[in-house]
Amino acid sequence: MANSPEPDDITAVPIDDGSVTVARWGQGPAEIVLLHDGLGSIAQWRGIPGSLAATTGRTVLAYDRPGHGASTPVPTGPWPTDWLHREADRFARLIDTVEVVADPLLVGHSDGGSIALIHAATTHEPLRGVLTLAAHSWVEDTCYRAIEGMRANAGPIVVGLARDHTAADRIFEAWSGVWVSDPFQRWDIRPLLSTIRCPTLVAQGRQDEYAPDSHAIETAAAIGQNGQHVLLDGVGHLLHHQDPDLVVGLIADFDRSLGHDRSTMSPPRGGIE
């Protein structure tokens, strides 16, 4: 991957009862918005946002959900069973607060992809498109077992997370605790996805440790005529770390396929006062 610049702007945005860190690559309203995974953060996108902005010429925005990075509030136990739906609601409020075009392209990894799908299925605002990377639509047995294994080896994982999170132990417990909880095993957003009205690409690595190929196929099928899937060789769940050039190219190609020139971008839906 080519040299990837630091964000042009980093801002702490008050939302609900906390403060969310927002980073922007480029100038003006954000046209592509990145939603990180369940243990992710702005920093863990690594060079993706800068390379994506350079490749597409679009302004890219990423943010840390509460408890991630330095965003607050910090969780005190497992997330509630409906946490992904709550985060989709919070995301809708966030992009009405920061400067984002009226119809952005959403790109979400893992749980961030799930949040993007829930938002797309429930919002009344236009979206140019959604691209998910290893998103979850229901709880696979392989996912449950993988997270159980992570909980049994939590010490080194938390140490690694501490490089990017101020409360690494709490964010690990919040995320892993809800994923292995009994009520969450019934979580399934497939019945919701048929209401998605924008072009949606469901991408997944063929070596994904948390889901078989059928997960992406069935997710796209649940979306219906607006959904398609792509299975990527040589990458697993952390595909944006394993092959960032592949991921940037995938996003850029999807962006071009939507046929929306920058000169005709819709005006922003909001902005920081």
Provide the pLDDT for residue 259: 86
Q: CA quadruple 159, 167, 5, 203: dihedral positive or negative?
A: positive
pTM over 0.75: yes
pLDDT digits (tens, 9 = 90+) for 89-114: 999 999 999 999 999 999 999 999 99
pLDDT digits (tens, 9 = 90+) for 22-79: 999 999 999 999 999 999 999 999 999 999 999 999 999 999 999 999 999 999 999 9
In the chain, the percentage of residues whose pLDDT exceeds 90 is 93
If we measure between CA atoms, which residue out of 62, 20, 26 comes closest to residue 43? 62
Structure tokens at 157: 């994982």
pLDDT digits (tens, 9 = 90+) for 115-157: 999 999 999 999 999 999 999 999 999 999 999 999 999 999 9
AA letter at 258: L
- Name the 3-class secondary structure at 32: strand
If we measure between CA atoms, which residue out of 178, 172, 111 comes closest to residue 144? 178
If we measure between CA atoms, which residue out of 31, 97, 88 comes closest to residue 65? 88
Q: What angle do CA 87, 4, 230 make, to 5 degrees?
A: 55
If we measure between CA atoms, which residue out of 103, 100, 67, 63 comes closest to residue 83? 67
If we measure between CA atoms, which residue out of 211, 203, 201, 206 comes closest to residue 234? 206
Grade residue 1 by pLDDT with cuts at 50, 70 and 90: low
Q: Which has more pLDDT, 4 or 273? A: 4
Contact indicator for 57, 83 with CB cutoff of 8 Å: no
